[in-house]
Each structure stands twice: as structure tokens, then as C-alpha cells.
Amino acid sequence: MREAVLTATLDQVVEHGIEGLTIGDVAARAGVAETTIYRRWGTRTALIAEAVTEMAAVGNPAPDTGTLRGDLQQLAEQISDLITRPGIARLLGTTIALSADQGVAAARHRFWNERFERTSHVIGRAVDRGELSDEVDPREVLETLSAPLYFRLLVSDQPLDSAFVTRCIDHTLTLYSASK
């Protein structure tokens, strides 16, 4: 039931955006009662937040290639694959536009905190291997890698091609490398 509801939620968001999603439509698509959704998630915002968090987590494990470059490559590819899915740019834009809504803002913060938490050990392992200084802030490194990808998607509307991804990785490594 949970998986069906979360899948239906994502389908609705892709088709109609956050603003067009209704619990009734999600319930009908998932084959459950609206009360089931309200009882489990409480609000439309909580439902969307869990669906997006689950989507980001599934199939996107924290990499462990043995090198920081390899791990950053996998992370950047995961991010690129995720944010270029149909409807995701609209979802991200709507989430930003609805930032004044406390529920939406809280869900966005929860999503990012969980996302950074799941991937921060990539940076910890790089510190242990001596590839990064032990004073580096894992979240800052991950933000440096991912921010240009989101900028391309949301602001400049340029492609997220492999050359750009490699440039993001190179810039991140140059900025934070322990050997500088």
C-alpha cells in the first residue's frame, strides 16, 4: 500500500505539479481510501515529501568506489539522472515558489538534511584516505558539487552533459583537495 501511494503521488506531481495534486486523485490511483492516506501522512505536503525522499533514496546508494573522484562521479551522475526525470524541474520550481508555506519549507529542509546525511560518509571516507582535509565540511563539499547541476536545470536551462558533470567534479576536487 505504501509503495502504491508514493508511486501515485509522484505520478500526480509529474502530471499536475504540487499545486495540482489532490489526496483524492492519489487515493484513486493507488486504490486506497483517502482516509488511509490522511491517517498515515496527515497532509498533502508530508505525503509529497516522503514520496520525493523515497524516490531520491531508491537506487541512489552512497557510492564507495575507493576514490573521492569516483564517488563524486557517481553522486553527480545520480543527481543528474534524478533531476532530469520528467516533471522534476517543475517539482523543484514549485517547491521553491511555495517556500513561504511552512509545511513545504519544512519538507524541503527535511529532504536535504536526509540527503546530505546519507551521502556525508563519502566525504568522511575521503578524509580517512587523506584525499580531503579533516577540517572539511562534508555538506559544503556536497553542495559545491551539486549546486551547479541544480543551477543548470532551474536557471540556465543548459544540458547536464558529461563534460559539465566532469567540470563540476574537477572544480570540487580543486577547491577541497588535501594536497593543495
> Measured between alpha carbons, how far is 21 from 33 in angstroms, rounded to an integer?
16
Average pLDDT over residues 12-28: 88
pLDDT in tens, 27-78: 999 999 999 999 999 988 888 888 877 877 776 788 999 999 999 999 999 9
The arithmetic mean of pLDDT across residues 80-103, rounded, is 76
pLDDT at residue 99 greater than cutoff 90: no
CA distance from start to end of the chain: 52
> By three-state DSSP, how is residue 1 classified?
coil
Q: What is the mean pLDDT of residues 104-120?
A: 82
pLDDT for the residue 89: 75
Segment 156-160 shows an average pLDDT of 87
- 144-164: average pLDDT: 91
- Residue 179 binned pLDDT confidence (cut-offs 50, 70, 90): low
131 Cα distance to chain centroid = 25
Q: Which positions ≥6 away from 78 have C-beta within 8 Å?
A: 60, 63
DSSP for 40-92? HH-SHHHHHHHHHHHHHHTT-PPP--SSHHHHHHHHHHHHHHHHTSTTHHHHH
Under 8 Å between Cβ of 148 and 175: no
**Per-residue pLDDT tens over the stretch 77-87:** 998 988 888 77
Q: What is the pLDDT of residue 169?
A: 97
Give residue 88's pLDDT: 76
pTM: predicted TM-score of the whole model, two decimal places: 0.80
Among residues 34, 82, 84, which one has the least CA distance to residue 59?
A: 82
Average pLDDT rounded to a whole number, residues 138-163: 92
C-alpha atoms less than 13 angstroms from C-alpha of 18 in its C-beta half-sphere: 26
177: β partners: 132
3-state secondary structure of 160: coil
Tell me the pLDDT tens digit for each residue of 126-137. Answer: 999 999 999 999
Looking at every residue in the chain, the average pLDDT score rounds to 88
